[in-house]
């Protein structure tokens, strides 16, 4: 076939370095940008084949999210805007690692296995973040698409969730919104303005938000969006990329892991602040109090605020819909306790990685999912959306139910249901705080986080650690879980688990306990157990204090 000749010719322009093997990580390939040109070309091929298979538009996003500027990566987006189905991750790995001369065979294998009709049209949307390597890498994706005769649309600089949104809009023939950045701003900002319009006497302070854009794409896009907010939200934008380096001592990941404010931002006591990550699919909130103490409001706090708000509205609307919160093992024990025992909402725990949370959330009428690191969104089932819509249009219901239904409808519209979205989450949180007349301090006191610590341990081969029970227990190596259980018993309100990272060559250790000293000590002791029982390399982990 003519296409295949073209591929041979073009793939030679994107050669694979001999011997290089890359694994598909939690959400795609990610490594130093210099090693990724052939991966991008090949993911262009794969997206085209996937588009033929699904008879729908597929997305390819070039980004390495919260990782350093020198890295890059690629995420594939399926027709409804969700992450590519896990069945195809194996195809991605095969294609990525095929030697140059075996590329056509690897591609043909996928085509055969998936029974692809090669005469089917293909359509691929491509986006990129602000990394200096992203321009040529996204061009490599586009080359891959055209090598297989696919159509492509290059959205240029967009956030990851914006690209997910575009794909969903396109494949639902505009029902989800218009597949342009302008359409994105219009949809989400209008919903925000509708939600907040009856919040009487919102002061200027309440309308003001301090934002750390991680020197990335989120900053550019917030600036573009600003006029659509009609001063109902006034954002002072820091780390906008004009001087600082991407994700360097700033951004959601830095703030969450370091548990301190980003550099480059002057924070006034009590002021509401938030940080995006490098591709704007994560957000965390924080403030410093009058004594200068830093308070972090992470994904768990957002899930709690959002689910409380939604549950109250569902009750007021008299709608009997099943709501659940989906978390991972990293969720602070206090948040789980509060949700289950005070809020009486169903909580489910699943493996780390958006794709896992997303799927569990789809099982409910209203599924609120958040990772503690700030990635999350809310999914509404079709039936739930319809019931809310009907009630909002019903002329025979009392004012209270009607008002709740209208708020629910606008809440659905302010949420990007395709994937966690820092911009959309920010608008949702800002709207809820406005509606409830709540300050960030009041939000923070809903429950108190248990002190916690995360550490990394280097081991020879992290695959020796196998986990179960949503990563909360280690099955191998022998004796590790028993050792952890014995250490945990020494502390109060303690919990700890270890898991191999899906994105870095390390084992991650998490511990929480009643005091910071205890959490730190426990995390250190568990690190030592990992080091000794799972083949630690380098120096033994040292105590934190």
Q: In what order do the strands lie in the sheet with 283-288?
A: 234-238, 208-212, 273-276, 283-288, 294-297
One residue of 3, 6, 26, 104 binding ligand 16G per CB under 6 A: 26
One residue of 71, 78, 82, 279 binding Mg ion per CB under 5 A: 279
What size, in residues, is the chain? 545
* Shortest CB 156 distance to ligand 16G, Å: 21
- Taking the CA atoms of 353, 356, 358 and 364 in sequence, report the sign of the dihedral they define: negative
Binding site partner of 271, from ligand 16G, Mg ion, none, Cβ cut-off 5-8 A by kind: none
Place of tokens 């084949």: 49
Is residue 504 within the footprint of ligand 16G (CB under 6 A)?
A: yes
Closer CB to Mg ion, residue 277 or residue 449?
277
* Shortest CB 502 distance to ligand 16G, Å: 3
Closer CB to ligand 16G, residue 65 or residue 410?
65
Q: What count of other Cβ atoms lies within 10 Å of the Cβ of residue 291? A: 6
Is residue 508 within the footprint of ligand 16G (CB under 6 A)?
A: yes
Radius of gyration of the chain from Cα atoms?
Answer: 23
Site string for Mg ion, 103-142 (x = CB under 5 A): ----------------------------------------
3-state secondary structure string, 158-190? CCHHHHHHHHHHHHCCCCCCCCCHHHHHHHHHH
The residues in 47-66 that bind ligand 16G, with binding defined as CB under 6 A, are 65
Closer CB to Mg ion, residue 145 or residue 158?
158
| Range in contact with Mg ion (rule: CB under 5 A) among 124-132, 279-287, 316-324, 333-341 | 279-287
Beta-bridge mates of residue 88: none
Site string for Mg ion, 281-320 (x = CB under 5 A): x---------------------------------------
CA distance 188 to 182: 10
* Shortest CB 38 distance to Mg ion, Å: 23
* Shortest CB 267 distance to ligand 16G, Å: 26
Q: Phi/psi of residue 275, each to 5°?
A: -125, 135
Using CA atoms, how far residue 463 sits from 283, 476, 477, 500, 507, in Å, is 30, 9, 10, 7, 9
Binding site partner of 27, from Mg ion, ligand 16G, none, Cβ cut-off 5-8 A by kind: ligand 16G
Binding site partner of 277, from Mg ion, ligand 16G, none, Cβ cut-off 5-8 A by kind: Mg ion
* Shortest CB 192 distance to ligand 16G, Å: 24
Beta-bridge mates of residue 288: 294
CA distance 369 to 355: 11
- Read off the tokens for 133: 């390597």
* Shortest CB 87 distance to ligand 16G, Å: 17
Q: Phi/psi of residue 355, each to 5°?
A: -60, -35
Residues annotated as catalytic (active site), given as ranges: 65
Is residue 373 within the footprint of ligand 16G (CB under 6 A)?
A: yes
Is residue 354 within the footprint of ligand 16G (CB under 6 A)?
A: yes
Is residue 194 within the footprint of ligand 16G (CB under 6 A)?
A: no
Binding site partner of 127, from ligand 16G, Mg ion, none, Cβ cut-off 5-8 A by kind: none
Helix axis angle, 160-171 to 181-196, nearest 10°: 100
Beta-bridge mates of residue 62: 74, 128
Beta-bridge mates of residue 238: 212
Strands (E), 65-192: 71-77, 123-128, 151-157
Q: What count of other Cβ atoms lies within 10 Å of the Cβ of residue 412? A: 17
Report DSSP state, residue 277.
Answer: -
Size of the site for ligand 16G (CB under 6 A): 14
| Range in contact with Mg ion (rule: CB under 5 A) among 14-22, 270-278, 431-439, 459-467 | 270-278
Is residue 277 within the footprint of Mg ion (CB under 5 A)?
A: yes
One residue of 65, 238, 336, 411 binding Mg ion per CB under 5 A: 65
| Residues binding Mg ion (CB under 5 A) | 65, 277, 279, 281
Residues near ligand 16G (CB under 6 A): 26-27, 65, 352-354, 371, 373, 375, 501-504, 508
């Amino acid at each position: 076939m003519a296409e295949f000749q073209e591929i041979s010719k073009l793939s030679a322009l994107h050669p694979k370095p001999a011997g290089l093997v890359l694994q598909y990580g939690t959400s795609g390939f990610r490594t130093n940008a210099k090693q990724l040109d052939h991966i991008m070309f090949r993911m262009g091929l794969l997206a085209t084949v996937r588009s033929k298979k699904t008879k729908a538009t597929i997305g390819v996003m070039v980004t390495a999210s919260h990782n350093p500027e020198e890295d890059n990566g690629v995420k594939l987006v399926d027709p409804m805007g969700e992450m590519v189905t896990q069945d195809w991750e194996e195809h991605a790995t095969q294609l990525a690692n095929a030697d140059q001369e075996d590329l056509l065979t690897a591609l043909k294998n996928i085509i055969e296995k998936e029974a692809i009709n090669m005469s089917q049209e293909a359509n691929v949307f491509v986006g990129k973040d602000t990394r200096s390597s992203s321009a040529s890498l996204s061009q490599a994706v586009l080359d891959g698409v055209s090598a297989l005769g696919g159509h492509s649309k290059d959205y240029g600089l967009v956030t990851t969730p914006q690209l997910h949104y575009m794909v969903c809009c396109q494949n639902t023939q505009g029902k989800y919104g218009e597949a342009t950045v302008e359409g994105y701003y219009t949809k989400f900002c209008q919903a925000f303005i509708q939600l907040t319009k009856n919040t009487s006497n919102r002061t200027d302070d309440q309308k003001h938000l301090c934002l750390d854009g991680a020197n990335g794409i989120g900053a550019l896009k917030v600036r573009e969006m600003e006029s659509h907010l009609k001063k109902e939200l006034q954002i002072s934008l820091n780390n906008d990329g004009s001087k600082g380096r991407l994700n360097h001592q700033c951004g959601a990941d830095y703030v969450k892991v370091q548990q301190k404010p980003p550099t480059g931002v002057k924070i006034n006591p009590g002021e509401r602040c938030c940080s995006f990550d490098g591709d704007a699919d994560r957000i965390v909130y924080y403030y410093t109090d009058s004594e200068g103490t830093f308070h972090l409001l992470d994904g768990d706090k957002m899930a709690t605020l959002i689910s409380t708000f939604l549950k109250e509205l569902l009750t007021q609307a008299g709608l009997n819909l099943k709501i659940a919160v989906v978390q991972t093992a990293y969720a602070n024990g206090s948040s789980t306790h509060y949700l289950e025992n005070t809020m009486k909402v169903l909580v489910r725990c699943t493996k780390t990685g958006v794709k896992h949370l997303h799927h569990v959330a789809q099982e409910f009428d209203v599924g609120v999912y958040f990772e503690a690191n700030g990635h999350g969104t809310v999914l509404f089932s079709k039936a739930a959306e319809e019931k809310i819509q009907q009630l909002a249009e019903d002329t025979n219901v009392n004012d209270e139910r009607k008002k709740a239904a209208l708020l629910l409808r606008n809440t659905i519209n302010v949420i990007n249901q395709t994937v966690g979205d820092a911009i959309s989450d920010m608008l949702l949180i800002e709207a809820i705080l406005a509606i409830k007349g709540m300050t960030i301090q009041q939000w923070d006191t809903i429950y108190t986080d248990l002190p916690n610590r995360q550490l990394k341990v280097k081991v020879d081969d992290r695959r020796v650690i196998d986990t179960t029970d949503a990563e909360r227990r280690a099955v191998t190596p022998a004796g590790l879980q028993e050792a952890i259980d014995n250490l945990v018993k020494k502390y109060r309100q303690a919990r700890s688990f270890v898991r191999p990272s899906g994105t870095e060559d390390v084992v991650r250790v998490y511990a929480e306990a009643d005091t910071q000293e205890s959490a730190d000590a426990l995390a250190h002791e568990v690190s030592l157990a990992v080091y000794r029982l799972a083949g630690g390399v380098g120096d033994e982990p040292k105590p934190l204090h």
